[in-house]
Amino acid sequence: MEISEIRGQKTLNTDIPYRIAFYIITLQTFIYLCAFILNYMIQSMTGFGKASLQLPTKKITVEVKSLNSKGLDLNVRMPSVYREMELGLRTQISTRLERGKIDFAIYIESTAEQTSTKVNVPVVKNYIAQLREVYADADETELMKMAVRMPDTLKTEREEIDENDWEQIQVIIDEALQNILSFRKDEGESLEKEFNLRIGNIRQYMNDALALDPERVQAIKDRLQTAISELQVNVDENRFEQELIYYLEKLDITEEKVRLTNHLDYFIETLGGSEANGRKLGFITQEMGREINTMGSKSNHAQMQKLVVMMKDELEKIKEQVLNVL
């Protein structure tokens, strides 16, 4: 066997483990993406998350609240000692929560005997000495009360960020964000059930309206025939039939029914999408509204118009809830 062939076999053999590892990673990624898509459901923008941590000298609580909003409206409240971390924290929150009017707060409750705020003893003594000259008859208690109200009687030592503390705080921040995401998913599940119910109602009302279409068409024909008879004029029957067909074509709602059905199907399909889709659902409801309005203007039938009003009512309820979808 030639040397080149031996080298080729060695190269091939050494490549096999890398190829196997590559295929395994690719397969794992594919499985993860499939699981994500299959398990995805819409999320509400309304939510609440909270997490707490007890450190040796203080208790730290993180709270996150969110309401619906067209974009991201983020308000962060935190102690001044951690203010330099705010920019990174904002990025972290916006990445996880995406949209909504979000209030984020970090609360610190000191549990240690010593605090960073102390009495400035020399300043207080100096104030008492000066006040004694002015109020010679005042007792020590009164002088003390007046002195501590004066400027600079308390001094606050600047706290430095403890990296170990911040790492632990970061853990409960993640926990609070995960809690609000779970809340949003639960709310989203309730919204999805309601959307399916409302869409089903619209579909049923539309089918009920279509079932009345033969009756509506016949009523239009009878009404026109009666009007012609009352005029007591001779009418070309062929021409009358042509005009009647043309008139009925203008009032036909078949196209609206087809388009509305497509919009209803697309709405349900979008609900099961793999991305945040609140804005898209809003656009679809606008198209649904156009078709329902056109059906109403063409109906010329009392019972059909009632069904159109019922469809509009269901659609308005959907629109109200779509505003809360992420």
| Residue 66, pLDDT score | 94
Number of domains in the chain: 4
Q: What average pLDDT does this structure show over 74-93?
A: 90
- pLDDT band at residue 31 using 50, 70 and 90 as cut-offs: very low
Clarify whether residues 7 and 73 are in a common domain. Answer: no
Clarify whether residues 264 and 203 are in a common domain. Answer: yes
pLDDT in tens, 161-209: 677 888 889 999 999 999 999 999 999 999 999 999 999 999 999 999 8
**C-alpha 269, offset from chain centre:** 18
| Residue 108, pLDDT score | 86
Clarify whether residues 223 and 315 are in a common domain. Answer: yes
In a domain, 208, yes or no: yes
Q: What average pLDDT does this structure show over 19-29?
A: 47
In a domain, 11, yes or no: yes
Sign of CA pseudo-dihedral 231, 233, 234, 238: negative
Distances (CA, A) of 211 to 101, 161, 222, 290: 45, 72, 19, 21
pLDDT in tens, 38-52: 345 788 999 999 999
Clarify whether residues 12 and 103 are in a common domain. Answer: no
| Low-confidence winner among 73-87, 105-119, 169-183 (lowest mean pLDDT) | 105-119
Clarify whether residues 161 and 76 are in a common domain. Answer: yes
Residue 307 near residue 209, CB atoms below 8 Å: yes
In a domain, 303, yes or no: yes
Residue range(s) defining the domain that contains residue 133: 119-151
Clarify whether residues 145 and 163 are in a common domain. Answer: no
Clarify whether residues 223 and 312 are in a common domain. Answer: yes
Last residue of a domain, one of 141, 167, 182: 182
Clarify whether residues 2 and 80 are in a common domain. Answer: no
10 Å Cβ neighbour count for 183? 19
Residue 116 near residue 155, CB atoms below 8 Å: no
In a domain, 74, yes or no: yes
